[in-house]
Amino acid sequence: MEFRIARIDLREWKAREEKIPESLLRKYLGGRGLGAYLALKEIPPKIDPLSPENKIYILTGPLTGTGAFQSGRYHVVGKSPLTGILGDSNSGGQFGPWLRFSGYDGLVIEGASDEPVWISIVDGEIEFHPAKRLWGKGVIHTERVIRAEMKTPSEYVGSVLAIGPAGENLSKIAAIMNDRYRAAGRTGLAAVLGAKKLKAIFVKGSRKVEIADMKKFLEESKKLTKKIMEHPISEALGKYGTAVLVNIINSHGAFPTKNWTRGTFEKAFEISGEYLAEKYLVTNKGCWGCAIRCARVSKVDTGPYRTPVSEGPEYETIWAFGANTLIGNLEALIKINYLANDLGFDTISLGNTMSTLMELYEKAKKGELPEEKAKELMELLGDIEPTWGNAEAFIQAVWRTAYRHGIGDIMAEGAARLAEYFGSPDSAIHVKGLELPAYDPRGINSMALAYATANRGGCHLRSYAVSFDVLGAPKKYDPLAIDMEKVELVKYQQDYFSVIDSLVVCKFNTFATDHTDYVGVLQAVTGWEDLTADELLEIGERIYNVERLFAVREGHGYKDYLPKRLLETPLPDGPAAGKTAKEALEAYLPKYYELRGWEDGKPKPETLKRLGLDEFLYIVS
């Protein structure tokens, strides 16, 4: 299998082609795995993530753009300015396949430009364009201008990846956006592009993605598509989008509310996928190569939250902007989502940062912050009054965060730094600096282990334990019971999801599939006829260990923990009332380390040898 990357040197505005050896692909596949390996090899230890020494890897995988079901995605990897450890994020839409069609399977962005620049890649030709007039502009405007310049108006031909003002202004919670509304959001890698002064990348081309055995590919691909499409969760995703989860998670008492102080939100139905479908849905939409079409296209016609036709909001956004700030007005959430996309934010991190601000404001009013800090907070807020449920204050705060005005200058650093700055570090709910997503581990106890051990910080997409604790896939467990079988499932998902992110395909198929389902289709594409299911899962385990090694080498981020509030303060309401996440984490973590072959969060030398990672033994010895 051939895998061509372009190394783009922004200092010189030059690019050169490089081929990735097939032996490396066999160990890491592509996407997240290849990115993690290259980052560990090439990014010097302990550098400032916003310095020119950091690199950004924008990578497809062996299945991207092949026509295999849900293969319209790409993965971004680099050192995170938010967490200081390895950051990565995945996005759908059209960009991944069009990058491959443009002639390259991946891009490595190196150095930093002296002035704003955007890049076009068309049929292997890489050109650099001054981007001064795009600097400061939103993602939607940027896409429009670039498409006009490239004479490619159709959103289905070619693709634009861009950062918004949030990334330009080095916000650590900024998202890399593509196709206007799709986000590689987590871990703030857009700030790294901002520091490099890279505003956007346009890709288009007619290269055919190589498939070693087309007949076998068509057969295997058909089987896989049928299995995924027939699963009931795929059907629900198509009908109501990811926001179908609002009522489900709320009914389990695990819907974090009022900055993680409650587990249920009384206005959950009014911000649910069902309500969205009834009132604001224009149509649904899919990523390239996917018939599930889980994306929502929505609009608000009138009133203060009037919003043009645009994509979203997704479940995580609805929760982070809604229940966690007590905003129960879906029209306001659609508006804030639109703004957050255009300005280029990770909506999970932004929502958590806003709910942290609301808590800090409440504490300042009650005299629970250090006096000097309370005074400074009030001064920085100016005319913003971030009371619970105040959508207007949220909108103002989003603008100010994007351009770092007043309180926005500190909000742009993310929830953990905001709370720390104002002397109340426990007001930010994060793991390793990454704000947590929409599942309270006090009500879904496998998520305690999933969050604590996620390599990029608090994240639901390394292991989505909700799948078995709540949704019954592959089988239903009691979300409140301590059950050691669940430790094996979390580890399994972490390894399998590493494979999924490296192939690169959509994780929403993992309700229906396991790693054995991808062997045939990968053999057909790559020609690796001797590839086995065990080998594929071992690749996932290898990737998980490489990511962990990055943290070990940095000297932080490998200790697995949960925020104090989730460990010590019981939920006051709902089916999980009285529960904390402490018992589950203490029960699960030792078993998890035993299964992983880790000690205190670090891979043991024998584990690295077993996984063929001898070249990194120096990190743990």
Tell me which residues touch ligand SF4 (CB under 6 A): 70, 72, 92, 237, 286-287, 290, 292-295, 506, 508
Rounded to 10 deg, the angle between the 391-403 and 330-343 helix axes is 0
- Per-residue 3-state assignment (H helix, E strand, C coil) for 551-571: HHHHCCCCCCCCCHHHHHCCC
Instruction: Choose between 290 and 438: whose C-beta lies nearer to ligand SF4.
Output: 290
Instruction: Choose between 196 and 296: whose C-beta lies nearer to ligand SF4.
Output: 296
Token duo for residue 54: 């950091």
Nearest approach, Cβ of residue 98 and ligand SF4 (Å): 15
Nearest approach, Cβ of residue 234 and ligand SF4 (Å): 7
Nearest approach, Cβ of residue 513 and ligand SF4 (Å): 12
Instruction: Choose between 91 and 307: whose C-beta lies nearer to ligand SF4.
Output: 91
Report the sign of the C-alpha dihedral through residues 189, 244, 155, 18, in that order: positive
Report the sign of the C-alpha dihedral through residues 300, 303, 307, 312, in that order: negative
Token duo for residue 138: 């939103």
Nearest approach, Cβ of residue 335 and ligand SF4 (Å): 23
Which H or E run includes 380?
A: helix 371-381
Nearest approach, Cβ of residue 410 and ligand SF4 (Å): 33
Instruction: Choose between 170 and 237: whose C-beta lies nearer to ligand SF4.
Output: 237
Instruction: Choose between 68 and 119: whose C-beta lies nearer to ligand SF4.
Output: 68
- For residues 116 and 112, give the distance between their C-alpha atoms in angstroms, rounded to a whole number: 10
- For residues 277 and 409, give the distance between their C-alpha atoms in angstroms, rounded to a whole number: 36
Token duo for residue 509: 């198929």
φ/ψ of 454, rounded to 5, equals -65, 130
Which H or E run includes 403?
A: helix 391-403
Nearest approach, Cβ of residue 522 and ligand SF4 (Å): 18
Instruction: Choose between 287 and 525: whose C-beta lies nearer to ligand SF4.
Output: 287
Q: Provide the H-helix boundaries in 439-509.
A: 446-453, 466-469, 485-503
Instruction: Choose between 72 and 263: whose C-beta lies nearer to ligand SF4.
Output: 72
Please state, in angstroms and as integers, the Cα–Cα distance from residue 457 to each residue in 115, 247, 561, 571, following that order: 32, 26, 10, 23
- For residues 80 and 49, give the distance between their C-alpha atoms in angstroms, rounded to a whole number: 6
551-585 b/e with 16+ CB inside 10 Å = b? Answer: bbbbeebbebbbbebbbeeebeebebeebbbeebb
Nearest approach, Cβ of residue 64 and ligand SF4 (Å): 12
Nearest approach, Cβ of residue 184 and ligand SF4 (Å): 13
CB atoms within 10 A of CB 21: 9
Nearest approach, Cβ of residue 478 and ligand SF4 (Å): 28
Token duo for residue 180: 């206007």
Instruction: Choose between 68 and 393: whose C-beta lies nearer to ligand SF4.
Output: 68
- For residues 282 and 143, give the distance between their C-alpha atoms in angstroms, rounded to a whole number: 22
Instruction: Choose between 240 and 508: whose C-beta lies nearer to ligand SF4.
Output: 508
- The DSSP secondary-structure symbol of 209 reads P
